[in-house]
Amino acid sequence: KQEVTQIPAALSVPEGENLVLNCSFTDSAIYNLQWFRQDPGKGLTSLLLIQSSQREQTSGRLNASLDKSSGRSTLYIAASQPGDSATYLCAVLLMEYGNKLVFGAGTILRVKS
């Protein structure tokens, strides 16, 4: 059974700091890995998607890496801003009947101004 773990559960940093969020998964048979952002009470916004054959993806100040063999991904946020405050969720898409996303519990990020 695929399990996804995110560390830390919560993080508070001053504005301008670079930070790393961690995600680990137990089964490497994944189709892709995706990072999402969720604002309080809202739906999910996709930030970055890494196919299983890729090592990293970049979008603006965000960079996500994937090491499928070790079951790990990191989301790097450069020069953090108060507007980055949200919950960040990592999810893997399983290559099986149903093509379901398995999510971690998320990291709650607070960027202080």
Partner 1 sequence: ETGVTQSPTHLIKTRGQQVTLRCSSQSGHNTVSWYQQALGQGPQFIFQYYREEENGRGNFPPRFSGLQFPNYSSELNVNALELDDSALYLCASSRTQTRGAQETQYFGPGTRLLVL
Binding site for partner 1 (CB under 8 A): 4, 31, 34, 36, 41-46, 49, 89, 91, 93, 96-106
Cβ 85 to partner 1, closest distance in Å?
17
Residues in a beta bridge with 37: 45, 88
Of 99 and 113, the one with the shorter C-beta distance to partner 1 is 99
Question: Which residues, other chains included, contact 43 with Cβ-Cβ below 8 Å and sequence gap of 6+?
Answer: none
Cβ 104 to partner 1, closest distance in Å?
5
Q: How far apart are CA 113 and CA 110, in angstroms?
A: 10
Of 41 and 60, the one with the shorter C-beta distance to partner 1 is 41
